Structure 1
Amino acid sequence: MLRFAFAFALMSSAATAQVATLSGTDGQNSLGTVPCAVSAGDPLKSCNAELRRRDDGTATLAVGLGNGEVRNIYFTNGVPDSSSSTSRLSYETRGDILVIFIEPGEVYELPKAALSTQ
């Protein structure tokens, strides 16, 4: 049963827009796309993603990088705290969007509402 579905338009620049979509699959896990860039200087593109929430307040965002690899980003209480990369992770909030950076040039955008408990 679909417990929630939403689409959220994101502006990556004044000229282009990216869309993040997450559609509930079982009320806890979600499938969809998120805007991402996997190399420094790349424009944002739609990347397949799965958001897996757990009852303990943690979550994992698995993002397909388009080359057969998957980047896992781990959250605790809605805050990204590590990833499957050994590189440094940082983030910032831009309005209702969580922008996650993994050095040297990976960027992921996720609506903060996607991480809230249902």
Structure 2
Amino acid sequence: MPRFILALAVFATPALAQETTLAGTDGKNSLGTIPCATIAGDALRSCNAELRRRDDGGATLAVGMGNGEVRNIYFTDGIPDSTNSTAKLSYETRGDIMVIFVEPGEVYELPKAALNN
């Protein structure tokens, strides 16, 4: 199985520059960090994350929320369509970054390219 490393993406947010790293990979799943805020009003911080590819072509982004919980965001055809939360999910694209919102105040930023590899 070939091994590869997803490229490091650097981008600016209103608060400060954040880095997304999805460097550790087994050729299918990637480990790293993404910018996130898990409480309404909090600034973005670096959260541990794993992007897991599913056999059906979809993906799951598992993000450590910092309180022992993990937020799973499920993707179909590169679009976030559900989470392990009952709260409303929405997203928008800002350049090369997908910004995912889970009400009332969770925010997750992911390079769109990470979903294409």
Which range, TM-score by smaller chain?
over 0.9
2:17 matched to 1:17?
A: yes
Cα displacement (A) at 1:23: 1.6
Matched residues in 2 for 1:35 and 1:25: separation? 19
Asked if 2 retains the 8 angstrom alpha-carbon contact of 1:82 and 1:89, the reply is yes
Calculate the aligned-residue CA RMSD, in Å. Answer: 1.2
Matched residues in 2 for 1:66 and 1:45: separation? 10
What is the identity percentage for the equivalent residue pairs of Structure 1 and Structure 2? 70
Following superposition of structure 1 onto structure 2, how do residues 16-95 of structure 1 map, counting pairs within 5 Å? 16-95=16-95
Match of 2:8 in 1: 7
Could you state the TM-score of these two structures normalised by the residue count of structure 1? 0.93
Matched residues in 2 for 1:10 and 1:86: separation? 30
Deviations for 1:5-45, whole angstroms, at most 9, x for unmatched residues?
321112111x5101001024211100000000001110000
Q: How many residues align?
A: 116
Matched residues in 1 for 2:3 and 2:24: separation? 5
Runs of 4 or more, structure 1, over 2 Å off, are none
Asked if 2 retains the 8 angstrom alpha-carbon contact of 1:2 and 1:23, the reply is no
Asked if 1 retains the 8 angstrom alpha-carbon contact of 2:6 and 2:114, the reply is no
Q: Structure 1: which 5+ residue stretches go unaligned?
A: none
Q: Structure 2: which 5+ residue stretches go unaligned?
A: none
Amino acid aligned to 2:33: T
Q: Secondary structure at the match of 1:2?
A: coil
Q: After alignment, is 48-57 or 73-82 more displaced? A: 48-57
